Amino acid sequence: MKRNVIVLSIVVLVLGLLSLAGWANWQNRKQAAERALAQQTQAVLVPDGAGTPQMTSPLVGKPAPAFTLTNLKGEKVSLASYKGKAVQLNFWATWCAPCKIETPWLVDLEKKYGPQGFEILGVSFDDLDKGDKALLAKEKADIAKSVDQLHIPYPVLLDGDSIAKPYGDNDVYPTSYFVDRSGTVVAATFGLTSKDDLESNIKKAIGGGK
């Protein structure tokens, strides 16, 4: 009887260890796959025609990674619901001075190209302390305040960090992805460019994927 208990305990222990090893192995493989995905979508610097290094994204020519985020009103917004429209995903943060410089250009450009089916989705990369209700409310209020001060009319989505990986984890702001009507990324810009540059990419998004 006692021997049976010992044997049973050993069997349970071995099975437990095997399960633990299997789980650890699955976790490792999952993390490796996530790292590989981030590397595949991470922007790289390549020399342009004049030899100046320019950042480009491997996402160009590929479907824009799907996401659902919440806007400042707490409503869920999915990229999928914008299919059939040309979209500029503008990754920004309230603390980003160059983002503030380009915002009036974006507002103008959306006004100009809106009638042609163009929309901008601002995605805020401000930190959100989800574990602290009071702090979280303050952080959301601060983002809303900035949106008001910058007179941003387009939707601003929260918690950009949660979609950073599929978009390359580039950690530079502002960043914009231009998505055509079929949901394909046709261009990407990293850092402050120019209004003309943004407009030319918007035209690509409007003209593509018809």
Residues that bind other proteins (CB under 8 A): 43-47, 53, 93-99, 101, 125, 127, 142, 146, 171-174, 190-193
Distance of alpha carbon 178 from alpha carbon 201, whole angstroms = 7
User: Which residue number, 174 or 183, has a Cβ lying nearer to other proteins?
Assistant: 174
| Least CB distance to other proteins at residue 96 (A) | 4
Non-local (6+) Cβ contacts of 111 within 8 A are none
Nearest to 152 by CA among 188, 113, 103, 200: 103
Distance of alpha carbon 203 from alpha carbon 63, whole angstroms = 18
User: Which residue number, 118 or 177, has a Cβ lying nearer to other proteins?
Assistant: 177
Distance of alpha carbon 190 from alpha carbon 28, whole angstroms = 31
Distance of alpha carbon 31 from alpha carbon 33, whole angstroms = 5
| Least CB distance to other proteins at residue 150 (A) | 10
User: Which residue number, 21 or 44, has a Cβ lying nearer to other proteins?
Assistant: 44
User: Which residue number, 176 or 183, has a Cβ lying nearer to other proteins?
Assistant: 176
| Least CB distance to other proteins at residue 56 (A) | 9
| Least CB distance to other proteins at residue 20 (A) | 32
